[in-house]
Structure 1
Amino acid sequence: MNLDFNKNLGNTDRIIRAATGVILMTLVFTKVLKGWQAILATIISILQFFDAIFSYCVLYDILGCSTSHHFVKEQ
Structure 2
Amino acid sequence: MNQRKDTYRAALQRGPEVAAPRHTKVTQLHTRYLRVTIELDPALPRDLTRWVGPHVSALLRASAAVLRPQRSTT
State the TM bucket, normalised to the shorter chain.
under 0.3
TM-score by length of 2: 0.26
- Structure number, greater radius of gyration: 2
TM-score by length of 1: 0.26
Q: Which has the higher contact order (CA 8 A, sep 6+)?
A: 1
The structure that is strand-richer by fraction is: 2
